[in-house]
Amino acid sequence: MSRLTLPIVALLSVGIAVSGCTKNRDIPTELAPARMTQIGVNSYLWRAAVDTLSFAPLITADSNGGVIVTDWYANPNSPGERVKLTVSIIDQDLRADALRVAASRQVNQNGVWVDAPVAAATVQKLEDIILTRARDLRRTTVSG
């Protein structure tokens, strides 16, 4: 373990020294790149999806595979109904077709949870919210 410590410290020192050597420190006025992939999938879509689903408890959040699964969530205003969401990010680019949202809905009938249909507009609205948030994150990356 101690053999690795010296090279890591040396690399960090060089990285800090080199980062101070730039002459032009102006922030570019262009958009940030649409492909941000430090985590295996598009970073903007990932952050936007996690932010959007923050109201529900998460079961799985795999940033390398791009899958987020929530546990069942019941809105306090409608306790007889609950939803479970799965978001899949399937590309490294910030595009609408890189995002898939699936929803399951159940209603409580006489103390038993029974599957119920989900309106297509609900899934579409959730996709739109995530995409809008991802675009906002991309815009603010450059503008600070």
Residue 21 placed within a domain: no
Residue 106 placed within a domain: yes
CATH of the domain at 64: 3.30.530
Residue 50 placed within a domain: yes
- What does pTM read for this prediction? 0.71
| Cα separation, 38 vs 137, whole angstroms | 15
- Which three-class secondary structure string do you get for 57-96? CEEEEECCCCEEEECCECCCCCCCEEEEEEEEECCCECCH
* Residue in the structure block whose two tokens are 């809105």: 75
Note the pLDDT of residue 35.
54
Residue 29 placed within a domain: no
For the cut 50, the answer to whether the pLDDT of residue 27 exceeds it is no
Residue 81 placed within a domain: yes
Pick the more confident residue, 33 or 107: 107
pLDDT tens track for 120-129: 999 999 999 9
Residue 20 placed within a domain: no
Number of H helices and E strands in the chain, helices first, is 3, 5
CA 89 to the chain's CA centroid: 8
Phi then psi for residue 72, to 5 deg, are -60, 135
Residue 62 placed within a domain: yes
* Among 66, 50, 44, CA closest to 141: 44
Q: How many domains does the chain have?
A: 1
For the cut 50, the answer to whether the pLDDT of residue 109 exceeds it is yes
Pick the more confident residue, 111 or 15: 111
State the CB neighbour count (10 A cutoff) for residue 52.
Answer: 21
pLDDT tens track for 7-19: 454 444 545 544 5
- What is the overall mean pLDDT for the chain? 82
Residue 108 placed within a domain: yes
Write out the residue range of the structural domain in which residue 105 sits.
34-143
